[in-house]
Chain A
């Protein structure tokens, strides 16, 4: 079955799209990065740690990580009305949760680290690209972190597991249809974020997580490489 399965763009089931990763793309920011899975491109900028305003939002015990995810109006074929939406509010929060376990923010009581994510161009997996860019931008900003996080959207198309979904696969029409499973993990393989839409057996889901673990090193390597090269980029 593995050999016969054809993905719309001809990739192998565990083959990622071409990764682009670069830091230092927003000069004003304390840290910034661009991350792309093929045609899906996200840009993240980090400002902070800085004093939290308004004061009543301050946490005197530890710092706050605040993420905002936004899709540019022209990033998809049918224009999105600019500004926040319910979807972007949720993804912003999910992104925070995906990053919090690795960001050592306890050292910054009363302060906030802002992570702004903008999706420039979308062909599915935008939240994963956003999280990957955000992790790089935080590291680029010098925020203490236990590890990076790496995110990828796994999918099940009918019965076939695949890595790094594209839009044409999100709309899969055959058999059981599409199942979309964005997963984020730390360097040592702990899951900091997982979501799922569709239908899948527990066994298949476990396989999906294993498959994700197999493809992570490629993404992680691209993130690290960009960070190592940052000297000349900033």
Chain B
């Protein structure tokens, strides 16, 4: 069900007064709940809830060949599945653009921020490296899968153990793990998406709000640096608005990073 014009109008009216349907302030996130270790056969896994939005993320590792331009580094692969389970709007069939974009945006946040120390995932330079698969599944889409997916990826990566590797055969011993975690940087790459509705900038939209969002900017920051960014949808942003987006992300990402650290201990 697409959000009706009437609801859209009401959302805008509320926002003009700095209010939202669920009582949040425009810049306020929904409650974040992170649960790790939700799937035993995965190297690491996490269930993340932002309000009613829920994603599941699992990490798998396998030994493969490195890319020619990064012979001493492990590989990273992020895939997303927007499951029909998660919303009546998603149909069965090949991945749609939404799903592809989501995967790519999360991938770039992790990759560009160098959160994973990929050089620590090299087994034999030029021949054998670990490939890290980050697989993201939407379970319930009530808006802002982007940020939930980003948080889920971090939580799952932080808890992922490296499997045993059999040097003789050069193969992964699936289902047997070492005590080693994936080598990660200390600071977390936090990806946050700011939406513009009318003259308002909001964080963490519900599905209704996302429907009437005119444009969005996803920014991934690790520590003090911005590492990736993507603007989606066609509405323009003024420079003033853009600066506000950056300020908002900078303020909020620290808080989210703290919450993640706290919840996955």
Contacts and interface: CB of A to CB of B under 8 A. Distances in A.
Contact of B174 (A53, A68, A77, A120): A77
A184 B218 CA distance: 47
A79 B38 contact: no
20 contacts: A28-B88, A29-B85, A39-B40, A41-B39, A43-B139, A45-B86, A70-B83, A73-B60, A75-B39, A75-B41, A75-B58, A77-B174, A78-B62, A79-B133, A82-B81, A82-B135, A116-B84, A116-B85, A120-B38, A121-B40
A123 B41 CA distance: 9
Given A68-B84, A74-B45, A75-B39, 10 more contacts: A26-B139, A27-B140, A39-B40, A73-B58, A75-B42, A78-B60, A78-B175, A118-B83, A121-B41, A122-B41
A204 to B, nearest CB: 31
B196 to A, nearest CB: 25
Interface of B: 38-43, 45, 52, 54, 56, 58-60, 62, 79, 81, 83-88, 91-92, 133, 135, 137, 139-142, 172, 174-175
Contacts of B56: 72, 120
B167 to A, nearest CB: 18
A196 interface: no
Nearest to B177: A77
Contacts of A83: 81
B246 to A, nearest CB: 32
B47 to A, nearest CB: 9
Given A73-B79, A77-B175, A27 B52 contact: yes
Nearest to B94: A83
Nearest to B77: A79
A76 B172 CA distance: 14
B106 to A, nearest CB: 15
B85 A74 contact: no
A47 B141 CA distance: 14
A50 interface: yes
Contacts, number: 90
Contact of A74 (B58, B86, B172): B58
Given A68-B92, A74-B135, A114-B84, A121 B39 contact: yes
B39 A78 contact: no
Contacts of A29: 85, 88, 140
B41 A28 contact: no
Given A74-B42, A120-B39, A50 B88 contact: yes
B85 to A, nearest CB: 4
Interface string A15-52: 00000000000111100100000010101010100100
B103 to A, nearest CB: 10
A77 B142 contact: no
A72 B137 contact: yes
Nearest to A137: B85
Contacts of B86: 26, 28, 45
Q: Please list the 10 inter-chain residue pairs (A to B) with the smallest Cβ-Cβ separation, ordered nearest first.
A: A74-B58, A77-B175, A74-B42, A79-B60, A77-B174, A116-B85, A45-B85, A78-B174, A73-B135, A121-B39
B41 A74 contact: yes
A166 to B, nearest CB: 12
Contacts of B174: 77-78
Contacts of A78: 60, 62, 172, 174-175
Contacts of A41: 39
B60 A74 contact: yes
A120 B139 CA distance: 11
A28 B58 contact: no
Nearest to A79: B60
B75 to A, nearest CB: 13
A78 B175 CA distance: 7
Contacts of B40: 39, 121, 123
